[in-house]
Structure 1
Amino acid sequence: MLVSLFRLLSFLPLPVLHAAGAALGWLVYLLSPSYRRRLKDNLARAGLSHVLPAAVQEAGKNVLELPFIWCAPQERVLAAVTIEDDALVKEALAAGRGIVFLTPHLGCFEVTAQTMAARMPLTVLYRPPRKAILKPLVEGARARPNLHLAPANLSGVRMLLKALKGGGLIGLLPDQVPQNGEGVWAGFFGKPAYTMTLPGKLHGMTGAPILLTYAERLPRGRGFVMRFVRFEENLGETPEQQARAINRAMEKLVARCPAQYFWSYNRYKVPAGVTPPGEPMPGGDAS
């Protein structure tokens, strides 16, 4: 049922989906007190309250563009994407150690995986949906040629490691809250956030370079611009140092188009079994 609905919506032009998404963003914002409170709190914490109106609309666009991204013909999706700075990708590939792409919940993060997979095989980490009704959509309609889904468990990590050792590409959402034992507390916009340690571990085990990437959503449904950014932070040696470095890099990336970050995401939740953090941390450098 849900897959059929998404496929039906995928026939609509992207400008129509984005216009409807902007309206949906305001509708959810006005009707859901918890959603509204989290969105406002997260923006205020980052000192970005002034982008609230745009952020409300961009959040809605993020939802209603998914039928297009997941279910429209691949050539139609790729035609909506302009790529910039791909010289960084060629440079990283020349080392022969694969690439660890870090893509936060910024812009149209779903289209970045499809765009890279159209060039060469890409393995991305994902968390299987808890609700059975969502599984056909996430694992079926989302699938594309050369795009391999690695579940967020031990077998998925092995898939990622195998891809890197073969000189391949992998993709991670570094601001996705990991499960107990898979992260550490690190400051993100001034508050402790449970942060995955996997990027640092994979880099340490393979020497694969880390690149940041995001797809900025253009106004009036004109498509997306996919950009690559060099990871310039000092990772350090401990999981805590690496998590702080990655969060600093994510903060800088979000600053490029702050209204398009998914501010309603519950980034600061405490996963089951994880000990809550102590005192609030000042910025991304706190411990």
Structure 2
Amino acid sequence: MLTLFRLLSRWPLWLLHLLGAALGWMVFALSPTYRRRFVANAAQAGYSFAQVRAAVAHAGRMSAELPRLWMGAPTPLQWEGSDCVDAAYARGQGVIFLTPHLGCFESTAQGLAQRYSPAHGPILVLYRPARQPVMVEVLAGARERPGLETAPTTLAGVRQMIKALRAGRAVGLLPDQVPPDGMGQWAPFFGQPAYTMTLGARLALQTGATVLLVWGERLPWGRGFRLHFRELAAPLPGDLDGAVVQINQEMERLIRECPQQYLWGYGRYKQPRRDPVKEV
């Protein structure tokens, strides 16, 4: 697998995206479970399949571009709305970047690291350790880029994030990812209860860091990615429950900017797994 990833990392982005689009449609055609979940999740948000059918191919592109993003040369990036990032860093209280499973979220962390880490220190990104041994080998060092650090979904990882924020640095996470049992709470997401990560809200309330929204638009024909930055529609409430609900609403707002690139096949409404976080 590692050899395959290294080989694919040398391919041009447009060719990886072409391969990924085909893979996306193949999975959609061969997996009734995935197909039903995709259509149901989109319908829950008010979209017909015709409106979001492009997301089938984008899901495949998301997977196919990973070798290039993890092991290959940097990809072209465009920036939109980044003035709010400069202002957030200037406040000196740390920055929390939140992004849903929309477009290429890997590109957002890499872009921020390239642009801001020389002056503000590395960005720390939360990740879930791989369970399959073959992926452990691939991921070992794959995400280690200049200016980019990773923190596991453990208590030690949470402490890393708090320390980074208190030092005025930035952290990034995907708050629409279903957390393990005990690390979240139920909150509406497109009108349906979803087990929701509380970490982003807790970090903001505990540290006073600025919360910003970001997503990486996948540009056509392998031209790279456009990073979109947004401020919150309103300040987060001072209570955890209210903050978690608002973060879900903010994720919905981003997704509605480009529903054709959202990962509708993700099991957003599934029951959390019983995998308690252990302190390491």
- Pick the TM interval, shorter chain: over 0.9
Q: How far 1:161 sits from its partner (Å)?
A: 0.4
Take 2:267 and 2:234, find their aligned partners in 1: how far apart are those partners? 25
Partner of 1:102: 98
Q: How far 1:234 sits from its partner (Å)?
A: 4.2
1:243 aligns with 2:239: no
Q: How far 1:136 sits from its partner (Å)?
A: 2.3
* Structure 1 runs, 4 residues or longer, greater than 6 Å off: none
Contact 2:52–2:259 (Cα < 8 Å) also in 1: no
> What letter corresponds to residue 249 of structure 2 in structure 1?
R
Q: CA 1:85/1:127 → structure 2, altered by over 3 Å: closer, same or farther?
A: same
Partner of 1:16: 15
Deviates more, 1:113-122 or 1:231-240: 231-240
Partner of 2:51: 51
Take 1:54 and 1:223, find their aligned partners in 2: how far apart are those partners? 18
Contact 1:113–1:147 (Cα < 8 Å) also in 2: yes
> What are the equivalent positions in structure 2 for 1:181-220 lying under 5 Å apart?
181-220=182-221
Q: What do residues 87-117 of structure 1 show as CA deviations (whole Å, max 9, x unaligned)?
A: 1111011110010000111100011111111
- TM-score, normalisation: structure 1: 0.90
Take 2:230 and 2:2, find their aligned partners in 1: how far apart are those partners? 34
Give SS of 1:140's match.
coil
| Gap runs ≥5 in structure 2 | 276-280
Contact 1:234–1:245 (Cα < 8 Å) also in 2: no
Contact 1:97–1:208 (Cα < 8 Å) also in 2: yes
Q: 2:77 aligns with which of 81, 86, 104?
A: 81
Take 1:139 and 1:173, find their aligned partners in 2: how far apart are those partners? 21
Q: How far 1:142 sits from its partner (Å)?
A: 2.0
Q: 2:87 aligns with which of 77, 88, 91?
A: 91
Percent of residue pairs bearing the same amino acid type: 50
Take 1:138 and 1:185, find their aligned partners in 2: how far apart are those partners? 31
Q: How far 1:168 sits from its partner (Å)?
A: 0.2
Partner of 1:33: 32
> What letter corresponds to residue 17 of structure 1 in structure 2?
L
Partner of 1:42: 41
Q: How far 1:131 sits from its partner (Å)?
A: 1.5
Take 2:36 and 2:234, find their aligned partners in 1: how far apart are those partners? 32
